[in-house]
Amino acid sequence: ITASEVIGVEVLPPILAQLQATYPDLKLELVLTNRVQDLLNREADIAVRMTQPKQEQLIARRVGEVGLGLHAHKTYLQRRGTPQTLEDLAQHALIGFDEETPFARAARKGFPLWNRDAFALRTDSDVGQLALIRAGCGVGICQVALAARDPNLVHLLPDSLTLGLETWLTMHEDLRNTPRCKLTFDALLQGLQNYMAA
């Protein structure tokens, strides 16, 4: 199973734990990368992707959309104040990417301040950005459902900035009738849908 860093670290483990509790002989390998693994060349059997797959030989199910928003830790907001507008964010320590990504380009369309030069802290690791937000280093973009698990994280300006990542579950069509792959695919689909509904 391949998935992005944050999904793989923060969302999938409880789903996989339940799957293994039900099927204790099932062996799983989790590959965490933000690079799109090639399912046609069997780099992975199942992928959780944040973009719609293009290859026709893949079975693809749209899981839903992961809501994203600006978040900061309460301790950061106590030190620096809570921004009331998007323009206020220019006075805050923003956490973002070092390398330009398709997501960063898309986010900047509705939020021009979201650019490399404005970031006080930069890392291309989504898990690293999440850790910086949790540590109170600044304001960053985080999955809304994930942040809701931590009472110390505050969703900032939810009416001013809403972003989403379409999420897809995919596997090679040749694996459709493989019991272990079908069971895993179905469990991941249900677990991810529950996560997005929370």
Q: How far apart are CA 133 and CA 76, in angstroms?
A: 9
CA-to-CA separations, 92 to 51, 126, 128, 152, in angstroms, rounded = 30, 20, 19, 18
pLDDT tens string 129-174: 999 999 999 999 999 999 999 999 999 999 988 888 889 999 888 8
Buried b (16+ CB within 10 A) or exposed e, 158-175: eebbebebebbbbbbeeb
pTM beyond 0.85: the answer is yes
Q: Name residue 52's amino acid.
A: Q
pLDDT tens, 62-115?
Answer: 999 999 999 999 999 999 999 999 999 999 999 999 887 766 777 777 677 888
